[in-house]
Amino acid sequence: MCIDHSSSDASSASSAASSYLVFASLAVAVPCAALAALPTRRAYDTQVQASLTLSAALAYATLYSLVRRRGLRRLLYLDRLRHDSQDVRAGYVVQLAGSFRLLACFVLPCFLAHASYKVFWYCANRPFGGGAYRWWWNAAACALEMASWMYRTAIFFMACVLFRTICYLQILRMTGFARDFGQCADVAAVLRQHRRIRVQLRRISHRYRRFILYCLILVTVSQFTALLAATRPHAQVNLAIAGELALCSMSLVTGLLICLHSAAKITHKTQSITSVAAAWHADATINSLERDQENPRTPSKAFLQHQHAPASPFPVASASSGEESDDDESRSEDSVDTSRFASFHVTNISFQKRQALVTYLENNRAGITVFGFVVDRTWLHALFMIEFSLVMWLLGKTIGIS
């Protein structure tokens, strides 16, 4: 796709020039030439070309900025996989391999549908004439438009799938973190792992917040423009005329839904750790005499039973003394045996640490944010209601729905 600008050698200038040239040719020059040179104008061609070009420009600028600053390996967190478990590394390798198939699943059906529509339109209208010489012009124009559509759609879907892949890595980490939560014996280790994941989520949010926001605005404006054009008086809406507009709308909305679904999924996966920690804390508190999940050096149940056995109310002297001391024999039965409170003291410290961890997780909910707004189900519900209200307002102004 001529987007990788991570190399710093002498070939970086040539690769950057080729990248600019390909983008300017397929994303800008070909759509503008199609709008200006075609004698027969399509009904919704302006909205379609403007929407695809702006979405491709947004995705290209995002990918160019991210890859040029950090490189592809750092962007995909490949340099930090050595700190993760074997399950996380294996799952991420599978996800990276499947991301190309996922990209093909989105791009190829759109391209085949658009190619069928373009071939049908050029065969039916023949904008450059029907002679033998004009036939080549029609074929060349059709091929260039299909290549332009393929390039712009692929770049937009590539940015969305790349964001989904990076979010899936964090989902793998949170899944392994939640699975091993009850087996971890150190609250400090749990806290460090959660802070590490939270820092990475903050970095991902900072890198993609502009892309998600501008993509949301662009898709909203393009869809409302298409709806306004399709509901105007005497507008002709059928598959032959508005098929390209419907395909463009489905492509943009699908890409936006990929980003929102990935962001909401990792947000709720991260926030569900609070319930896991609360359950772990409750289980450890109830079964504190069975086993201490925070400190494995807590005395076992057998040792505690041996301590509480009524065999002798006095502490036993060490074996190296050989005989009992006079001070121990003269100790009264009313004296407090501090060794019996050792298990309670350790359990109390463990309880305080676990309670502090649960409180920290409740007040530090991590996730994907867009300029401070957490992308979760509540945010998506509010966004849906705003979009739905705008659609009903527009339909009320155009076709009279009240």
pLDDT at residue number 69 = 81
Helix (H/G/I), strand (E/B), else coil: 370: strand
**What's the DSSP call for residue 401?**
-
State pLDDT tens for residues 217-247.
999 999 999 888 888 888 778 777 888 888 9
Q: How far is CA 55 from CA 206, 246, 341, in A?
A: 20, 16, 67
**What's the DSSP call for residue 369?**
E
Position with higher pLDDT, 34 vs 211: 211
Band the pLDDT of 216: cuts 50, 70, 90: very high
Q: Provide the residue ranges of all domains of the chain, joining segments of one domain with +.
A: 18-261
Q: How far is CA 365 from CA 195, 268, 376, in A?
A: 11, 10, 11
pLDDT at residue number 160 = 94
pTM for this prediction: 0.78
For residue 262, what are its two tokens?
Answer: 């990935």
H/E element holding 373? strand 373-374
**What's the DSSP call for residue 40?**
S
DSSP state letters, 9-37 = STHHHHHHHHHHHHHIIIIIIHHHHHHHH
Distance CA 260, CA 313 (A): 66
Band the pLDDT of 9: cuts 50, 70, 90: low
For the CA atoms of 324, 329, 334, 337, what is the dihedral angle to 10 degrees?
A: -10
How remote is the C-alpha of 371 from its chain's centroid?
Answer: 15
Average pLDDT for 129-152: 84
Find residue 370's DSSP bridge partners: 373
Largest CA distance in the chain: 123
Average pLDDT for 292-319: 44
Residues 65 and 209 sit within 8 Å (Cβ to Cβ): no
Q: Which amino acid is at 334?
A: D
Distance CA 374, CA 361 (A): 16
